[in-house]
Amino acid sequence: MAAASDVREIISGDGEAGVEIVRNVRRWVDEQVIPQADALEHAGEFPTAIHRDMCEMGIFGITFSEAYGGLGLSFETYSAVIEEIARGWMGLAGIINTNVIDGWIIEQHGTDEQKQRFLPGLGSGELQGCFTITEPNAGSDAQAIRTTATRDGDDYLLNGNKLFVTNGDRGDVYLAMTKTDPGANPRHRGISAFLVERGTPGFSIARTIDKLGYKGPETAELFLEDARVPAANLLGGGEGRGFQQMISGLEIGRINVASRATGVAQAAFDHAIVYAQQRETMGRPIAEHQAIQLKLAEMATKIRAARLLTRDAARKKDSGERSDLDVGMAKLFATEVALECTLESMRVHGGVGYTKELPIERYYRDAPLMAVAEGTNEIQRLVIARRLLELYRVD
């Protein structure tokens, strides 16, 4: 399928290295991912061969420091790579997302020993990372978690359960937010983060959760029942810092989700504009009907805006400046665009778009996840508004 590559190229501080990896990923998606995606997704199979390719290309460690075996590239390049991957199959971007989040948090906040022990494996894809905040009674209000961690000699005993854990069935390292001081006021001061490893006594995978879309990576519920975690796995080596450590990683996740959404919207548009020129009604292609032209114009314009917002947010994150406003705007806008464009593509296709003969129905099922993942869009609006009120405060 023809791709509007001129509008999707990136210009970044990574120079030709960044552009080249995006072009290579785009070719790989066209040749290896798109031909397999529908069959694997409908079968609910984990994409083992595709996962191996992503490991070999270094995608899991794309933003990791070279000191830990990563590529050391920018979040702007990462955003472009994720967009291309999601254009082929959105679920693949979720497999990558948790490793990149965990890796960034460990690199920023972990001890030297934790960095040496976990980052090389997470960056190569040999280890699968998981990011666990959500619980049955704590979603948007992350400080409401009930999982506790109690000191017991050289270990901590963790008790509680975590919900909606992407890659939870395959994880090797679970970055888990807990309460080491349940009575702390304000609540965030009592929160600590732990690196829980597969095989930890008392840690178990309760179940995997069937979903409307977002196939490929499984979503799991986890139990912690007196799970004995070494004190050496307390992130950063100190209690009470976990809320800030974990929440800092959400900006990375939101760049990922905004990039995914842009990729899915682009895929939906690509199919729509080709089909509109091939399908005829009343003796001419439907692309010549004004009603269809209006849809295509709206889709293309909003996708371009979503891409630019997302790249701008990624550059802000690269700069080291506070980026919650920029990332929140990108995540909100891009995911709403994905919802709109997947539905509009289905409308352009008519009845055939509703069948499993084309990937349009997959895009349509995948899009809602991104409006609720990494903080719902309602939460994004609150984050944006509060930050704007700080910036435009009237004395």
Q: Taking Cα atoms as reference points, which of 338, 333, 339, 340 lies closest to residue 384?
A: 333
Q: Return the DSSP state at 172.
A: S
374 annotated active-site: yes
Pairing label, strands 203-208, 219-230: antiparallel
What residues form DSSP beta bridges with 281? 284
For residues 268-305, one letter each, b for 16 or more C-beta atoms within 10 angstroms of the residue's C-beta and e for the rest, the string is: bbbbbbebbeeeeeeeeebbeeeebeebbeebbebbbe
Q: Cα–Cα distance between 377 and 368 in angstroms, integer?
A: 11
Could you say which of 107, 239, 361, 374 is catalytic?
A: 374
Q: CA–CA distance from 311 to each of 68, 74, 282 (Å)? A: 25, 11, 42
**What is the chain's length?**
395
Q: Report helix, strand or coil for 90.
A: helix
Locate tokens 């497999």: which residue? 95
Catalytic positions are: 374
